[in-house]
Amino acid sequence: MSSAALAKRLLDEGDLGEGYARKAELTGRHADVTVTGCPALGELDGDAAAGGSLDFPRRAKVSFTYASSTGSEVSEELYSGTAAELSSGVGRIFEAMTSCSSYRVLAGSTAVTVTAHEVPAPRLGDEQWGQLLTFTAGGRSQVVKQTAVRVGMVVAVVSGSPALVDAHVAEAVAKARATT
């Protein structure tokens, strides 16, 4: 499935309900991301290791902020490939990210300590993965939940504030599964 076809299956403001606004996407990849303290992550692409995009060629992404709560965000990414490619790729990344209880990510001149652990993911598709990440920098912490669900030849990854991920993952998977 092409990136354009995937984009048509992304959640939109109408799917999410009142209080959500589309967030402008940052462009470009971060070539200056280094991971220390976790050898399994050192072998991965910097964006994936820092909780960013997965490295599949056919993808689409959208992010939203939730107005009634400061700092609450949710994003969705869709990836397409063969079931074997998706299963292997997503599984490898989630396993690497939760293989070390804590590691450091250096993005430019900013050092971030990341703690990660596996959490149950809802059984919505052929395979599912879940993790809870805590990013700490400058004495402040942010908790991000990531849930990935493979349905056939598409993977939906919903990330953000844990309550928002839980509230919207089923709808994201249903929309990703839809045949249009």
For the segment 91-144, what is each residue's pLDDT rounded down to a tens digit? 988 998 889 889 998 888 889 999 999 999 999 999 999 999 999 999 999 999
Q: What is the model's pTM?
A: 0.90
Q: What is the pLDDT of residue 164?
A: 94
Q: What is the pLDDT of residue 151?
A: 96
For the segment 35-62, what is each residue's pLDDT rounded down to a tens digit? 889 888 877 755 555 555 677 889 999 9
SS3 157: strand
Q: How far is CA 102 from the centre of its chain?
A: 18
Domain 3-177: CATH superfamily is: PknH-like extracellular domain (3.40.1000.70)
Q: What is the pLDDT of residue 57?
A: 83
Q: Residue 111: is it exposed, middle or buried by C-beta count within 10 angstroms (0-12/13-18/19+)?
A: middle
Q: Which residues contact 19 (CB under 8 A, 6 or more apart)?
A: 66, 67, 68
Q: What is the pLDDT of residue 162?
A: 95
Q: How confident is residue 28, by pLDDT bands cut at 50, 70 and 90?
A: low
Q: Which residues contact 55 (CB under 8 A, 6 or more apart)?
A: 45, 47, 48, 89
Relative to beta strand 102-107, strand 154-160 is unpaired
**Residue extents of the structural domains in the chain:** 3-177
